[in-house]
Amino acid sequence: MIKKDVLSEKSFDFAVKILRLTEKLRANKEYVVSSQLGKSGTSIGANVREARFAQGKKDFVSKLEIASKEANETCYWLELACEVGYIDKNEFDELFTQCNELLSILSASCCTAKSNLKNEK
């Protein structure tokens, strides 16, 4: 059984919310944003999970950096969806806040991991 950590739990919870949002968007026949949002929003947690079984410390950092990129992309799609009226301001605020929280955690984790890599040399 895989032990959960804060980042894993938050990214998984966020992915669930993103999938629920994409279902709602598809029901309204919005496919472009829903597809992109679904891919990037669920990829965050998938890369966090992959990082746990990285093939070394450089691979670990790489997976966290990919998760950060996906989180940043997800923020873009959320902003776009709100701007064109696909999601309301309250839903946007909740998801955008969570996404930015993930970005902050990932950024700090990447900095720590990179620092640890430098200290080993």
* pLDDT confidence of residue 65: 96
* pLDDT confidence of residue 120: 77
Distance CA 50, CA 48 (A): 5
* pLDDT confidence of residue 3: 66
Closest CA to 62 of 11, 102, 70, 97: 70
Distance CA 9, CA 18 (A): 14
* pLDDT confidence of residue 1: 55
* pLDDT confidence of residue 117: 78
Segments making up each domain of the chain, as ranges = 6-120
pLDDT, mean of each 10-residue run, the chain (121 residues): 82 98 97 98 97 93 97 98 97 98 96 85 63
Return the percent helix, strand and coil in the chain, to nearest 5: 85, 0, 15
Fold of 6-120: de novo design (two linked rop proteins) (1.20.1440)
Is this structure's pTM higher than 0.85?
yes
Closest CA to 73 of 29, 32, 43: 43
